[in-house]
Copies of this chain bind each other. A is one copy, B any other.
Amino acid sequence: MSDVENYMKVEFEGISENERLARMLVSAFVVTFNPTLEELEDVKTATSEAVTNCIIHGYEQLGGPIEMTMEKKGQELFLQVADYGIGICDVEKAMEPLFTTKPQLDRSGMGFTFMEAFMDEVKVHSVKGKGTVVHMKKIFGSTCKRV
């Protein structure tokens, strides 16, 4: 942890009211990167997607603890979002655009696609019946833009 300049770990209840809270938390942490408006929106959107997935898929709307960890290393943000819910059987399949297991709830299947589009790195670790962790990385002030 020696090269971590700042960090924040948060745990909160997995209810949909807290999706907004999660975006506010990540915004509060990310201001120290002096982000552009677009960078801030990127991180807020990715956070919203990951937290929503814990609530709807991980806990199937029955609630449970969500953990978010943020670390600042130079201009890099490491963001983790975790639940202790049902887990994902086939992560590769889950990450395909438009794939969703909850079409009856009008899910678009674009959650992981947005996370990948807006962050510089997205990795998912999931164990069936144990839970899911999404690891994301964002490099602020990078000159290479996505196409």
Of A7-15, A39-47, A76-84, the segment with at least 4 beta carbons within 8 Å of chain B is: A7-15
Tell me if A21 counts as interface (CB < 8 A to partner B).
yes
Tell me if A140 counts as interface (CB < 8 A to partner B).
no
- Can you list 8 residue pairs at the A/B interface with Cβ under 8 Å? A6-B12, A6-B15, A8-B10, A21-B28, A21-B29, A21-B32, A24-B24, A25-B25
Tell me if A100 counts as interface (CB < 8 A to partner B).
no
Are B6 and A9 in contact, CB atoms less than 8 angstroms apart?
Answer: no
Tell me if A106 counts as interface (CB < 8 A to partner B).
no
Are A28 and B24 in contact, CB atoms less than 8 angstroms apart?
Answer: yes
| Of the residues B7, B10, B24, contact of A13 by C-beta under 8 Å | B7
Which residues of B have CB within 8 Å of A6? 12-13, 15, 17-18
- Chain A positions near chain B (C-beta within 8 angstroms): 6-13, 15, 17-18, 21, 24-25, 28-29, 32
Which residue of chain B has its CB nearest to the CB of A24? B28
Which residue of chain B has its CB nearest to the CB of A7? B13
Q: How far is the CB of A124 from chain B (nearest CB, A)?
A: 24
Which residue of chain B has its CB nearest to the CB of A8? B12
Taken together as a complex, chains A and B put the C-alpha atoms of A29 and B12 apart, in Å, by: 10
Are B12 and A11 in contact, CB atoms less than 8 angstroms apart?
Answer: no
Q: How far is the CB of A27 from chain B (nearest CB, A)?
A: 8
